[in-house]
Amino acid sequence: MRAAIRRAGIIRILSARRRETIPNLAREFDVHEHTIRRDLLTLTLEGYLIDTKQGNGGGVIYHGQKYPHKGLFSREQTNVLNQLKKYADSHQLNVLNEMLESFA
């Protein structure tokens, strides 16, 4: 599984549950706990408000993000959408630009 897809999945899970544990996320994505920790660090650096707390009542806590869908498109997806813009009429161009602004 590509990292961008896994990270988007992590955000979807955390958005729904608001709290989860690293071992549970690692099992759900069939990766090592270290991979989940790196993903959480990357997501935090991208602006997602994620806390991790150890001990009883701890885990991964998601507080949201100002732009929750930002960064969902991969670089390849963004490039393809940008290439399609040259073939789009004005309405399609506006929609593509909105998509890129919201999700890229």
What letters, b where the CB count within 10 A reaches 16 and e where it falls short, cover 49-80? ebeeeeeeeebbbbeebeeeeebbbeeeeeee
Domain match, 49 and 87 both: no
Which residue range is the domain that position 57 belongs to?
Answer: 3-64
Residues whose CB falls within 8 Å of the CB of residue 68, separated by 6 or more in sequence, listed in order: 11, 15
Report the candidate in 7, 16, 17 with the shortest Cα–Cα distance to residue 45: 7
pLDDT in the model for residue 34: 96
Domain match, 21 and 50 both: yes
pTM: 0.60
Domain match, 60 and 18 both: yes
Instruction: Answer whether 68's CB lies under 8 Å from 15's CB.
Output: yes
Domain match, 46 and 15 both: yes
pLDDT in the model for residue 91: 94
- What domain count does the chain have? 2
Instruction: Answer whether 49's CB lies under 8 Å from 63's CB.
Output: yes
Domain match, 37 and 78 both: no
Domain match, 21 and 58 both: yes
Domain match, 16 and 55 both: yes
Domain match, 26 and 52 both: yes
Domain match, 54 and 10 both: yes
Domain match, 57 and 7 both: yes
What are the pLDDT tens digits along the chain (104 aa)?
Answer: 699 999 999 999 998 888 899 999 999 999 999 999 999 999 998 888 898 888 887 799 988 765 666 778 889 999 999 999 999 999 999 999 988 887 87
pLDDT in the model for residue 23: 94
